[in-house]
Amino acid sequence: MFQGSVKIMPSGDGGVRASAAACRISTSEGTALDAFAKGGDRAKDLKLIGKVLSSGHHTVAEHAYFTVAFNNVSVLTEQLMIEHRLAAYTVKSRRYVDFSGAGYVVPEGLGEEEQAYRAHMDYLFGVYTRLVQMGVPIEDARFVLPYCFRSNFIMSCDARELSCMAHEMAEGRLSVYPEMKYLGGMLSGQLEEVFPGATKAFVKRREEGTAPLSPIRVGEPAAAAQGVELVFAPSDPDALLGTAKAASGRGNVPLRSLVRGDRPRELEMLNYIFRVKGVSLACVTHFTRHRIQSLIVPAPYTALAENTCVLPASVKANPEALSLYTEAFAVNAAAARAYAARPELLGYFALAGCTVDILFGMNARELLHFLRLRTCTRAQWEIRDAANEMLSLLMEEYPALFRYYGPSCAVLGYCPEGRLSCGKPRKTEE
């Protein structure tokens, strides 16, 4: 029944020769290029790689890099995949692309329930289309889309990380989702063809069992209570930053110059932890895209327990759209209750506008990057509101530093967006 696929895109020899060179360089005379020149015989290179991997030296697999295309998979799969930190992702934007004709994944084994499942998903897509026709922006209409709607994205990572992903999907913690298990088997087979032995080398250190998903009770839809809480901040950030600046030999550099500098490594010594409450599943993706952080996100299907949802201003301002929008969440809750005991499928009924609470930690350097992007007027409104609230809390905590944070125009003194600029640059003093 699953029609989605995952495909490792062609990339020469798949990094086999580079990995073999890495195997040789640590125990051989000569340069790195000498080690590379000794390779080229694929069978011998693979034998060497297998020997080194079996001895526990797994880093050699990190020199083989792959780009993988996920085609027509559910956005649930996308959400679960992008939580892997050591990879790069590019997804199709739901802010700018109309998903009316995207279609949706139909899980296997529905039997007599399949007709009702299809009718319900067709209904939700119909609501999405009608909202767009009413003039609701695409980025707001998407909140009624179910997490079975089809996504396409590209991911790149090294062989070591890819093998870990493939195992988690096919046999590990993600295999409790049938679609992930199906795609994981496909990915494992392809990886074994282009980089033999990689999928077996790391099995010993992975989990062998899988914890079942816990059934939930689907709640009645309600408006989400949103907010940001600063959970942790350094007790004496000024002293800590001063120590870092002294260690780097830049003790006399003003904070504003440090913030605007090309390599503000000292800022990495300051760590902050936030809890964002009532953030939509759609917006979680925006947070997850920031790689230099520690992030805890609940499983998407659990969003149906409280079943709180965001209510965009564009919908709230239109009585007809508001009625259609709220009805969609109520109808979806009723349909989802039939799957409450099957959490591996319940995730397909989570709507993009359903909310969860997330917990994440960033250092001050990553916060500088995050806030430059997310307090910009071009940022999606939900994450922009959260980012502005984060900045306000940081300003209260350590104003000497965070007074220089904000959108790129305020931090850098100019807007890097070019023709996409809003035309109203801000200054840090504002």
User: What's the pLDDT tens digit per position in 314-341?
Assistant: 999 999 999 999 999 999 999 999 998 8
* Domain 222-420 in CATH 3.40.50.11540: no
Query: What's the pLDDT score for residue 30?
Result: 84
Residue 358 has pLDDT above 90, yes or no: yes
Q: Among 159, 177, 158, which Cα is nearest to 168's?
A: 177
Q: Which amino acids are annotated catalytic?
A: 374
Query: What's the pLDDT score for residue 221?
Result: 96
Vertex 215: Cα angle to 211 and 221 (nearest 5): 135
pLDDT band at 271 (very low <50, low <70, confident <90, very high): very high
Please state the rounded mean pLDDT for residues 44-56.
Answer: 83
Residue 210 has pLDDT above 80, yes or no: no
Query: What's the pLDDT score for residue 32?
Result: 86
Q: Which of 30-44, 214-228, 307-321 has the lowest mean pLDDT?
A: 30-44
More confident residue, 407 or 207: 407
Q: Residue 428: CA atoms inside 13 Å, Cβ hemisphere, count?
A: 20
Q: Yes or no: say if 61 and 122 are a contact pair by the CB < 8 Å rule.
A: no
Query: What's the pLDDT score for residue 333?
Result: 97
More confident residue, 243 or 41: 243
| Range ranked top by mean pLDDT from 10-24, 40-54, 57-71 | 57-71
Q: Which of 21-35, 37-51, 293-307, 415-429 has the lowest mean pLDDT?
A: 415-429
Residue 108 has pLDDT above 70, yes or no: yes
Segments in 158-272 forming alpha helices (H): 159-170, 178-194, 198-201, 237-248, 255-260
Q: Residues 86-89: contacts with CB within 8 Å, 24+ apart? A: 86/157, 86/158, 86/161, 87/155, 87/156, 87/157, 87/161, 87/165, 88/155, 88/156, 88/157, 89/153, 89/154, 89/155, 89/289
Query: What's the pLDDT score for residue 430?
Result: 56
More confident residue, 85 or 333: 333
Q: Residue 405: exposed, middle, or buried by beta-carbon count in 10 A (0-12, 13-18, 19+)?
A: buried
Query: What's the pLDDT score for residue 211?
Result: 75
User: What's the pLDDT tens digit per position in 277-293?
Assistant: 999 999 999 999 888 89
Mean model confidence pLDDT for the chain: 91
Residue 257 has pLDDT above 90, yes or no: yes
Residue type, 168: E
Q: Where are the domains of the chain?
A: 5-72+150-205, 222-420
Query: What's the pLDDT score for residue 49?
Result: 84
CB contact set of 180 (below 8 Å; sequence gap of 6+): 77, 80, 169, 174
Query: What's the pLDDT score for residue 361?
Result: 97
Query: What's the pLDDT score for residue 19?
Result: 87
More confident residue, 64 or 328: 328
Question: Which token pair is 114?
Answer: 């399949």
Query: What's the pLDDT score for residue 324?
Result: 98
Please state the rounded mean pLDDT for residues 42-56.
Answer: 84
Query: What's the pLDDT score for residue 250?
Result: 93
Q: Which of 22-36, 142-156, 258-272, 351-365 has the lowest mean pLDDT?
A: 22-36
Please state at what angle helix 42-54 crosses helix 16-25, rounded to 10 degrees: 60
DSSP 3-state of 158: strand
Q: Among 105, 11, 111, which Cα is nearest to 63's?
A: 11
Query: What's the pLDDT score for residue 427?
Result: 66
pLDDT > 70 fraction of the chain, expressed in percent and rounded: 96
Please state the rounded mean pLDDT for residues 376-399.
Answer: 96
Query: What's the pLDDT score for residue 372?
Result: 95
Query: What's the pLDDT score for residue 202?
Result: 63
Residue 407 has pLDDT above 80, yes or no: yes
User: What's the pLDDT tens digit per position in 183-202?
Assistant: 999 999 999 888 887 777 66
Q: Yes or no: say if 388 and 290 are a contact pair by the CB < 8 Å rule.
A: no
Evaluated on CA atoms 43, 44, 46, 47, the torsion sign reads positive
Question: Which token pair is 21?
Answer: 């060179």
Vertex 313: Cα angle to 310 and 315 (nearest 5): 80
Query: What's the pLDDT score for residue 212?
Result: 84
Query: What's the pLDDT score for residue 7?
Result: 93
Q: How far apart, in whole angstroms, are the C-alpha atoms of residue 271 and residue 241? A: 11
pLDDT band at 12 (very low <50, low <70, confident <90, very high): confident
Q: Residue 122: exposed, middle, or buried by beta-carbon count in 10 A (0-12, 13-18, 19+)?
A: exposed
Q: What is the pTM of this model?
A: 0.90
Please state the rounded mean pLDDT for residues 114-131.
Answer: 97
Q: Radius of gyration (Cα) for the chain, nearest Å?
A: 24
Q: How far apart, in whole angstroms, are the C-alpha atoms of residue 109 and residue 112? A: 9
Query: What's the pLDDT score for residue 428?
Result: 59
Question: Which token pair is 351?
Answer: 């709507």
Query: What's the pLDDT score for residue 20?
Result: 86
Please state the rounded mean pLDDT for residues 69-96.
Answer: 91
pLDDT > 90 fraction of the chain, expressed in percent and rounded: 67
Q: Which of 16-25, 156-165, 175-184, 304-313 has the lowest mean pLDDT?
A: 16-25
DSSP codes joined into one string, 77-131: HHHHHTT-SSSEEEE--TTTS--TT--B---TT-GGGHHHHHHHHHHHHHHHHHH
